[in-house]
Structure 1
Amino acid sequence: MAMMKVTLLGLLGLSAQLAMSENATASSNTSAATVLSEGSLKVRSLPSVVTILHLSDTHSLHRSTGNLPDAVTRQDIFIHSGDVAKVGNDGELGDFNHWLGTIKHKYKHMFIIAGNHDYWDTNWRLNRGWVSEAEASNPNYFQSKITNAKVLNHEMAEVMGLKIWGAGWHARRGDSRSGNNYGDLPAGIDILVTHDAPFGIFDMTGGGHWGSTHALLDAIYRAKPKVHLFGHIHEQRGHWDRSGASFTGGVEYRPSPHTGQVFRPNGPPAQNYPVEVESNNAMANQPAVDHSWTGIWAPQHIVGRPRLITAKREGEAWHFTSSVP
C-alpha cells in the first residue's frame, strides 16, 4: 500500500509539472491531445496550423513596411531572407536590429539570413584591411550584429514541428553569386531560406537570368523542401503555389503603379518541381527598372507587402499555401 501511495504521488507530481509546462508553451491552435492510459495525464501534440511571415529586401526601409503585428491575426514565425540594409554598415544594421526588438514580442520565433547588400560595407573594409578575412568569414559575424533574431548560416532550426534551413550571402562574393554551392542542404526540411534564386525561377531581369544558380535548383530537386523563401531579384517579386499537378501565381512586380502590367511574366516551374510554395518577396522597388518604364526617377521605397505562409498539418505531413495579408 505504501508503494502504491508513492507511485500515485509521483504520477500526480509529474502530471502537475507537465500541465504547467503545457500552459506555458502550448499553441492556441493544436491537433488533438494524446491521453495516457494510466490516470488523466494529457500531453498536447504539435500545432496543426503554423503561420510564417516572409519579408525580404527591405533595404533599411523596414520602418515603412507598415504595422506588421497587425497584418494578420496570428503570426508564429518571422523570416527575413536578406538585404535588410542598403550598404550594411553598423548604423544600418543597428537600426534594423533595434526595430526587430520592438516587434519580437509578437512572434514566437524570428530568423534572418544575410543578403549581398548586407556585406557591402564589410567588403569595403576588407579591401582596406580594416577587417580581417577570418573575422568576416566567421559564422557568427552577422549574428553579432543582429541580436534580436536567429541568423541561419548553413544550419537548421526545428521549431513548432517545422524544419527550417537557411544560408545567406558570403563576404567577397559581389552581387550576382552568393558563394553557396548548397551541397550541404539536407533532405527532409520543410522551409528553405536563401537570398538568391534557383535558375529559371523568378530570375529574369533586363539582362536575362541574373542572381540565380543551377546549384540551388539542383539542390532543391535533390532535397525536396516544401517551401522556398528568397528575394534579391526585385523586379521578379512573386509567388508560385502548387495546386494539384500545376502551379498558380506568377510575377507581381509592376514597374508603373498606374498600370496592371507586371515585369516580364514567366511560366511556372516544371510539374516535378518539389516545392509547394515558392516566394520571392523582395519588397523594395527597383528604381532603374521603374525609370525605364515611366521615365521618372524616384527614391527606393517599399512596394510589396509581407507574404503570409500558412502551414497545415495533415496526418504526419505539412502542407503549405501563401497569401498577401
Structure 2
Amino acid sequence: MGLVLPVWKWPCLRSLDAGLDSCPGRSGREHRALRQSRVDPVPHDAPKPPGYTRFVCVSDTHSRTDPIQMPYGDVLIHAGDFTELGLPSEVKKFNEWLGSLPYEYKIVIAGNHELTFDQEFMADLIKQDFYYFPSVSKLKPENYENVQSLLTNCIYLQDSEVTVRGFRVYGSPWQPWFYGWGFNLPRGQALLEKWNLIPEGVDILITHGPPLGFLDWVPKKMQRVGCVELLNTVQRRVQPRLHVFGHIHEGYGVMADGTTTYVNASVCTVNYQPVNPPIVIDLPTPRNS
C-alpha cells in the first residue's frame, strides 16, 4: 500500500511564550513558573512496587508492531495512529496484535491517521472531486461506518471515559489542524470545546496530540506544535496524574510539572522506524479499587 504524505508545514506557535500568554486566566509568566522537568521512565525489568498499577504506554505504531518488545504491565495505553490510513484491514491486524498481548486492560484511542474513525472526515472525503486518500475514499460506507467494532480486544475511547483498577481514564483523538487528516480542528474555540468535555477528577488523560510546551518540539522546523488550549485544560482544570499522547514523533519521552506526568509514547521515529520502546509508568492503585 502506498502512503502519500503531504508536505509537513506546521501551523503552530513558534514561541512558547506567545502560546502561554494566550492562555485565558493565566499569564505566560505564571505558566512558566510551573515546574517542568524531564523524567526517566520505569525500566522494563524493574519490579513493580506492591500496591501499584503498571501502565505500558505506546503511540504511533503505524501498523509496525512486529518489532516492538512489549514489557510486563497491567494496563496498555495506545494513544492513536495504530494504522497508516485506518483501512479495515489495518484495524483487523492491529486488533489481532492486541489479542496476543497479556495485559488485563488495553485502552486505545484514534489518531489523525485513523481516517475511517472520523465519520465527518469520511463524509467530506467521498464528496470531493479528487481523491486525496484514494485507498480510503474508495471504501463503501458499509465498510467503514462501524470500523470501531473491529476493535474487539480493547477498550476504545473517543471523547469518553472508563474506570479501570480504580483509575478514571478519559480518551480523545482531536488535534490542531494538520493538513486535512482525521480528527483535525482549528486552534482556538473548536478545540477548547472538545477539551471542555473532559470531566474534572480524571486520573489519566489520553489524547493523540501533546499540550503546548511538553514533548512537542519539532527540531527541523524549530517550532513547538502542541495545543495551548489543551495545556490550559490540563494544568488549570483537570490536572490528571498522567497524560499520555503521541503524534509528534520527535517528542518521545517523559516530563513532569509537579502535578502531572506527561508521556509522549511515539514508537515510530520521524522516519517511521518503530525503534522507541514502550514507556512504563507505575502509579499507586486507588484504595477503593
**Fold match (TM-score > 0.5):** yes
Q: Which residue in 2 is equivalent to 1:59? A: 62
Number of aligned residue pairs: give it.
219
Matches within 5 A, 1:36-115: 48-66=51-69, 68=70, 71-72=71-72, 75-103=73-101, 106-115=102-111
Paired AA for residue 107 in structure 1: Y
CA distance in 2, matches of 1:30, 1:304: 25
Matches within 5 A, 1:119-158: 119=115, 123=121, 126-129=124-127, 141-158=146-163
Q: Which residue in 2 is equivalent to 1:217? A: 231
CA distance in 2, matches of 1:176, 1:114: 9
SS at match of 1:193: strand
**Structure 2 runs not aligned, ≥5 long:** 1-47, 128-136, 186-190
Residue 143 (structure 1) shift: 2.3
Q: Which residue in 1 is equivalent to 2:276? A: 304
C-alpha distance 124-163 of structure 1, shift in aligned 2 (>3 A): closer
Contact 1:177 1:212 in 2 (8 A): no
Residue 209 (structure 1) shift: 3.6
Identity across the alignment (%): 27
CA distance in 2, matches of 1:121, 1:168: 10
TM-score by length of 1: 0.59
Q: Which residue in 2 is equivalent to 1:286? A: 270
Moved over 3 A (4+): 120-126, 129-133, 175-180, 208-211, 315-318
Residue 274 (structure 1) shift: 3.0
Q: Tell me, yes or no, if structure 1 residue 117 matches structure 2 residue 131.
A: no
SS at match of 1:99: helix
Q: Which residue in 1 is equivalent to 2:13? A: none
Contact 1:126 1:132 in 2 (8 A): no
Residue 207 (structure 1) shift: 2.2
CA distance in 1, matches of 2:49, 2:273: 39
SS at match of 1:115: coil
TM-score by length of 2: 0.66
Q: Tell me, yes or no, if structure 1 residue 186 matches structure 2 residue 199.
A: yes
Q: Tell me, yes or no, if structure 1 residue 274 matches structure 2 residue 259.
A: yes
Contact 1:142 1:151 in 2 (8 A): no
Paired AA for residue 61 in structure 2: T
Residue 199 (structure 1) shift: 1.0
Counterpart pick for 1:159 among 151, 158, 164: 164
Matches within 5 A, 1:192-207: 192-205=205-218, 206-207=220-221
Q: Flag the structure with more relative contact order, 1 or 2, with Cα contacts below 8 A and sequence separation at least 6.
A: 2
Task: Give CA deviations for 1:168-227 in whole Å, capped at 9, x if unaligned.
Answer: 148x97359743430111111111000011012111112244542111111102111110
Contact 1:58 1:85 in 2 (8 A): yes
Paired AA for residue 111 in structure 1: I
**Structure 1 runs not aligned, ≥5 long:** 1-28, 32-47, 242-268, 288-299, 319-325
